[in-house]
Structure 1
Amino acid sequence: MTFREVIVQRLRVRNDQETKFHDIIVTNNRLLQHTIELEKKVKLFEKDGYVNNGESSTQLAELDRRIRELSNERGEMYKTQSENAQRLVNMNEQLRTKEEKDKRQTEEIEILSTKVNKLTAKCELQVHQLREKDVTIQILQDELAALQLEMVTTEERDKKLVEENTQLLERWMNKMNEEAEKMNEATMFYETALEQAKAKKQLKRGSIDISVPYSSIVLPKKATKKINVHDAEIHCIAASSLGSMFATGGADKKIKLIDAKSGHTLQSLSGALQTITSVSFNSTDEMILGSCTDNATRIWSLSTHRIRHTLTGHIGKVYAAKFTGDSNRVVSGSHDRTLKVWDLQKGYNTRTIFTFSSCNDLCLMDADGQTIISGHLDNNIRLWDTRTGTGIKELTGIHNGQVTSVSMSPDGTSVLTNSRDNTLKIIDVRMYDIVRTFQANSFRNGLNWSRSTFSPDGKYVAAGSTDGSLCIWNARNGKLEKEIREHNSVICGVSWNPTGDYLYSAEKNKTVCMWDTSGKKH
C-alpha cells in the first residue's frame, strides 16, 4: 500500500470511531424532547381540572412512572454520553498523536524517497560508467591483441634480419680475410717501418716507455698557488702523463690546460655540449680526452687543439674514460650501466659490456686495457675482461656507499677506492683482499665523482673533503699524515704530478690549488 492509501484507511477508522455513538445521542435527544412535551401536557391537564379524575390520576401516575424511567434512562444516557465524550477526547488525543506520527513518517518517507532517487540516479550513473569501462577494456584488449600480433610479426622479421645479417657478415668477413691475406706481405714491411718511426718519435717526446723520474716527496704545509680558470663549477682534474701540465674540466663545457709549475693557462679546449666529467691524457701527452654529460667522449689533439674524435654510443651520461697504453683505444664508463671499448683507428665501438649498475669511475689494470676495474653506484667494484666482455670478479661488501673513484697503484698490484661512506681502501687485485682502510673524523666525501690519487712513489694517498680540507694518508700504515684546508668548498678531485713535484686539487667552486711536494724552495 502507498502512504496515501494508508492515510485514507486511517481517516476512515477515525470517522467510524467518532460516529460510533451517534445513534445513541440522537435517541437520547429524542427522549428528552418527548419528556419535555409530556411535562407540558401534564401541566395542561392540571390547569384544566382533570387532576381529580381517577382515570387522570392513573394516567398521571403512569406518566410519572414513565417520567422517572425516562429520567433514569436520561441519567444513564448522560452518564454514557459523558463516558463517550471522555473516550472521544482520548481517541482524539490518540488520533492527534497518530497524525503527528504519521506526519513525521510522511516526512521521513519523503526524505527516504529523495535519497532513494539520488541513489538510483547514482547507481544508473555507475552502471553507465561500468558499461563505458567495459567498452574501453574491450578496445584495450583489441589493441593488445593487435600489438601482440605485431610484436610476433616483428620478432619473426627480426629473426629473418638477424639470419640475413649473419650471412652478410660471414660473406663480408670471408671477403675481408681474402683481401687481408693478399695484403699481409706488404703490411709486414710497412709495420716494421712504422714501428721504427714511432720509436724515434717517442724518444724525442719523452714517451712513457722511458720512465719519468720523480723526486723524494715532501708533504706540503700550505698551497703554493691558487688559480681560477673556469667560468663555472669544476668537476675534474688530472695531471699529464709526462708531468708538463695538468687539465681541468667543468660545467662551462671547456677543458683548461695549465702549466704544471707556473700555473699559467696554456690552452682552452672547447667543443663539448655539456659538463665535462673527467679528463685523461694519453701516454705521450699528444691527446687528451674529456667525458661529458651529453653522453659522448671527445678526444682533442694537443698539437692542433682541435677535436680529433667524438665517441657517441652511450645513452646516459659518461662519467669516466681512459686511454690504453698504445693510445689506439679508449674505454668509457656511463650512467647507462655499460662500459664501451672504442677503437680510435677504426673510429667506432668494438665492445660493449653491461655492468648491472651505473659506472662512476674506471681504471686500467694493465696498459693494453685487457682488464678494467670499475666502481659503481651500487657500492661494488667489478673487474672485466675487455677481450671477451665478461666479468672476472665482483667485489661486494667493500664499501657501504657508492664508489666515486678507482685508481691503480704505481706498481700495478693494488687499486685505491674512494666512497661516499667516507672511507678510502687499498685492495690487492691479486688476492682481492683489503690491504688498508683510510678515514678521518673530518673527512667527508661530498660528491659522487670525487677522485682520489696515489703519490708517484706509492707511499701516500690523497683525497679531498666536503669542507675543503686536503687529506693525505700514509699508504703503508693508514695514518693521517696531513690535513690542510686551503679550499672553501667541497673538493671534487686531486691528482699528483708523475714527477712527484706537485699535487693538484680542485674544488667545485672554481678554485684550483697547487701544492709543492718536492721540498725545494721557490
Structure 2
Amino acid sequence: MTKDADELTSVRLEILNRLKQKECQQKNLKTMLSHYCMLDQQLQQAQRSRSVSVNQEVQNGTVDERLAVMKEEMANVYRMKSKNDQDLIDANRKLADSEARHSLVASQRDKLRKEVGVMLDKMKTLEEELADLREKNTAINTERVALVATCNFLTEKKTQLDTERFQLLNKIRELQEKSAEYMNAEIALQEERAQLRIREQIARATADLNLNDDRVLASFETPEADEFMMTDVLPSEVKFRMTAHEGEVHDVEWMSDDMFATAGSDSKVRIWRVSPNKTDATKVSTLTGCVGPINRLDYDAQRHVILASSNDKTCRLWNVDSQRLLSTFSGHSDKVSAARQINFNFTYAIIHNFIFRLFQSHNVISGSADRTIRQWDISSIRCLRSYLVGSTIFDIATGCGTSQANFISSHFDKKVRFWDARSSEPTHAVELGQKVSSLDVSLDGLQVLASCRDDTLSLIDTRNYGIIHLYSAEQYKTSCDSTRAIFSSTGEFVLAGSSSSSVYIWNTKSTKLEKVVRTARDDSNQIMSLSWNPSGRGLLACDRQKMCTLWR
C-alpha cells in the first residue's frame, strides 16, 4: 500500500509541475496584453494631447509642424501596434499548442490512472497468491521435514537390512559349501560305482574272450541282446507313439539302451523305460524345479546326472537316481537356449569291439538369448567366465577337437563359433547361409553337424574348419530355430526332423538320402528333436504335439 501511495503522489506532483509550466507560459502572454492595453491608453492620451496641442498650435500658428510630428509618432505607434499584433498571434499559437499539450498530458494522465488501477488490482491478486504460496511453502517445508525424518529412518533400516543380508549371504555361502561337499562326495561315490561297473564290464568282456568264436559270432548276430553295436540300423517301423508331456516336447535323449529322458514346455524332465518288447514306455520319474519351458538336455557319461537349460534364465542339474536337484546356475538375463557339461577327462578302452568311455565332468557351459556364454563350476555353483558374443546363441556342443576344453556355439548371425574355454575370444568362426539352429559332434570329435535355417545340414571339419558335405532334400524343411539335427550312434548317418512330420536320414559320407520316416499322417506336425539309441537300433523323435515316437 505504501508503494501505491508513492506512485499516486508522484503522479500528482507531475500534474502540478505541468500546470506551473503552463501558468508561466500564460504569464508572458498576460504581460504582453497588459503592455498592449497601456499602449492603447497612451495612444488615446496622445491623441487627446495632440488634439489639444493642435488646437494650441493652430492657435499659435505652428499647426503644420505639429501635424508632421504627430504623423511620425502615429507611424511609430502603428509599427509598434503591428509588432504587438504579431506577438499576440504568436502568443495565441503558443497558447493553442500549450492547450493541445495540456489535453495530451491530461489524456496520458487518465490512461496512467487506469493503468495504475489495473496495476493495483494485479498487485492485490499477486499479494493474495504470494500469501497462498507462503502457506503452501510452509506445508511443503513441514512435509519435507517429515520426509527427511522418514528417509533417515529408512536409511538406518537399509543399513540394518544390508547387515542382515551380508549375514544371510555368509550363511548361504556356508550352505553352498556344504552342498558342494555333499555333491562332491556323491559324485565321488558315483565315480567309484561307475569305475566298479566298468571294471565288471571289462572283466566280463575279458571273460568273453575265452568263449569260442561261434558263440561270439552268434551273440553279434542277435543285436536285440547286445548292449552296444558297431553299426547303425536304419529304422523300419514305428514301435510306439506316446504322449510324453502336457505341452510341446522340446528335447529327447537316450540315457541307455532302454531308458530315455524327455523335456518339454511343462517345465519338467521325465525319465522313461522302454519295455522289453519295445512296444511301449513306462515313466520312471519326473524331475521338477524349473519354472519355465525346458529347451535342451545333457547328461554325464554314467547317466546319473542330467542337465537341463530353461526359459527361466537358469540351467539345473539333477541326480537321476535320487531325483534330487543338485545345483541351479542362475545369472543369465534371458532364456538359456542350451547347456552342456565340459572339461571331460576322456579315456577310451576298446576290448573285443566294445567301446568304454571313462570321463568326469567338472564345468557347465551355457548359452543364452542374452548373447552371452557362461562357464560354471559345478562344485562351487559360481560363474567362472563370461563370453560376450553379440549374437543370440541357439545351441552349444562340447567334446570337439583334441582338447576337451573346447566347445562350439551356433548363432543367429549365421555363424558357428569355435571356442577354447580358457580364452575369452573364439578361435575361429564359420559363416553359413542362414542362422544355425543346432550342433552335434561326432563320436571322435573331429566333425560337427550344423543345422541351418536355409533347409540344409553342414558337416564341418573341426581341424581345418572346412565344410566337408552339405545335406539337403527336396521336401525337407527345417522346423524352427530350436530343431535338432544329429549323428547316428556310430556316425554312419546324419538325420534331421522336418516341419512335415518326417525324419530325413542321409549317409554321412556319400550324402545320399537313405530314408524318410514319418511320425504321423498330419504334415503340420513339427519334429523338434531326435536321439539315436546307443545300441545302433532305435530312433526317438519328439514333436510339438506332445508326442514321442520310437522307430526300430
Settle same-fold status: TM greater than 0.5: yes
Residue aligning to 1:213: 228
- Structure 1's 220 and 327: CA in aligned 2 closer, same or farther, altered over 3 A? same
Q: CA deviation at 1:369?
A: 4.3
Where in structure 1 do 4 or more consecutive aligned residues deviate above 6 Å?
A: 193-198, 209-212
User: Residue 374 of structure 2 contacts residue 384 of structure 2 at CA under 8 Å; is this kept in 1?
Assistant: yes
Residue aligning to 1:330: 364
User: Residue 337 of structure 2 contacts residue 393 of structure 2 at CA under 8 Å; is this kept in 1?
Assistant: yes
- How far apart, in 1, do the equivalents of 2:188 and 2:270 lie? 34
Residue aligning to 2:508: 475
* Secondary structure, aligned partner of 2:238: coil
- How far apart, in 2, do the equivalents of 1:264 and 1:379 lie? 40
Give the counterpart letter for 1:231 in structure 2.
E
* Secondary structure, aligned partner of 1:224: strand
* Secondary structure, aligned partner of 1:384: strand
Q: Which residue, out of 243, 246, 258, partners 1:228?
A: 243
User: What's the TM-score once normalised by structure 2's chain length?
Assistant: 0.55
Q: Counterparts in 2 of 1:389-404, with a 5 A limit?
A: 389-396=424-431, 398=432, 400-404=433-437
* Secondary structure, aligned partner of 2:439: strand
* Secondary structure, aligned partner of 1:264: strand
- How far apart, in 1, do the equivalents of 2:537 and 2:314 lie? 33
Query: Number of paired residues?
Result: 322
- Structure 1's 195 and 407: CA in aligned 2 closer, same or farther, altered over 3 A? closer
- How far apart, in 1, do the equivalents of 2:301 and 2:422 lie? 21
Residue aligning to 1:202: 194
User: Residue 206 of structure 1 contacts residue 284 of structure 1 at CA under 8 Å; is this kept in 2?
Assistant: no
Residue aligning to 2:288: 270
* Secondary structure, aligned partner of 1:201: helix
Give the counterpart letter for 1:494 in structure 2.
L
Q: Which residue, out of 447, 455, 472, partners 1:414?
A: 447
Give the counterpart letter for 1:249 in structure 2.
A
1:494 and 2:530 are equivalent in the alignment: yes
Residue aligning to 1:464: 497
1:355 and 2:389 are equivalent in the alignment: yes
User: Residue 234 of structure 2 contacts residue 537 of structure 2 at CA under 8 Å; is this kept in 1?
Assistant: no
Give the counterpart letter for 1:389 in structure 2.
S
- How far apart, in 1, do the equivalents of 2:186 and 2:453 lie? 47
Q: CA deviation at 1:233?
A: 1.1
- How far apart, in 1, do the equivalents of 2:188 and 2:323 lie? 27
User: Residue 452 of structure 1 contacts residue 495 of structure 1 at CA under 8 Å; is this kept in 2?
Assistant: no
Residue aligning to 1:52: none
Q: CA deviation at 1:215?
A: 4.7
Q: CA deviation at 1:292?
A: 0.4
Stretches of structure 2 that go unaligned for 5 or more consecutive residues are 1-183, 206-226, 345-359
- How far apart, in 2, do the equivalents of 1:244 and 1:500 lie? 12
Q: CA deviation at 1:204?
A: 3.3
- How far apart, in 2, do the equivalents of 1:196 and 1:364 lie? 23
- How far apart, in 2, do the equivalents of 1:490 and 1:386 lie? 34
- Structure 1's 402 and 196: CA in aligned 2 closer, same or farther, altered over 3 A? closer
User: Residue 264 of structure 2 contacts residue 294 of structure 2 at CA under 8 Å; is this kept in 1?
Assistant: yes
Q: CA deviation at 1:202?
A: 1.6
- Structure 1's 476 and 253: CA in aligned 2 closer, same or farther, altered over 3 A? same
Q: CA deviation at 1:390?
A: 2.1
Per-residue Cα deviation, 1:169-203 (whole angstroms, up to 9, x for no partner): xxxxxxxxxxxxxxxxxxxxxx9x99997764223
Q: CA deviation at 1:411?
A: 1.6
Q: Which residue, out of 255, 263, 281, partners 1:249?
A: 263
- How far apart, in 2, do the equivalents of 1:278 and 1:418 lie? 15
Q: Counterparts in 2 of 1:64-463, with a 5 A limit?
A: 200-206=192-198, 213-240=228-255, 242-260=256-274, 261=278, 262-324=280-342, 325=344, 326-366=360-400, 369-396=404-431, 398=432, 400-463=433-496
* Secondary structure, aligned partner of 1:391: coil
Stretches of structure 1 that go unaligned for 5 or more consecutive residues are 1-190, 517-522
* Secondary structure, aligned partner of 2:193: helix
- How far apart, in 1, do the equivalents of 2:186 and 2:477 lie? 50
User: Residue 222 of structure 1 contacts residue 486 of structure 1 at CA under 8 Å; is this kept in 2?
Assistant: no
User: Residue 420 of structure 2 contacts residue 426 of structure 2 at CA under 8 Å; is this kept in 1?
Assistant: yes
User: What's the TM-score once normalised by structure 1's chain length?
Assistant: 0.58
* Secondary structure, aligned partner of 2:337: strand
Per-residue Cα deviation, 1:226-250 (whole angstroms, up to 9, x for no partner): 111211111111222x444211111
- How far apart, in 2, do the equivalents of 1:498 and 1:292 lie? 26
User: Residue 231 of structure 2 contacts residue 492 of structure 2 at CA under 8 Å; is this kept in 1?
Assistant: no
Per-residue Cα deviation, 1:257-291 (whole angstroms, up to 9, x for no partner): 11255522111111110100111111111111110
User: Residue 297 of structure 1 contacts residue 310 of structure 1 at CA under 8 Å; is this kept in 2?
Assistant: yes
- Structure 1's 243 and 348: CA in aligned 2 closer, same or farther, altered over 3 A? farther
* Secondary structure, aligned partner of 1:203: helix
RMSD (Å) for aligned C-alpha atoms:
2.5
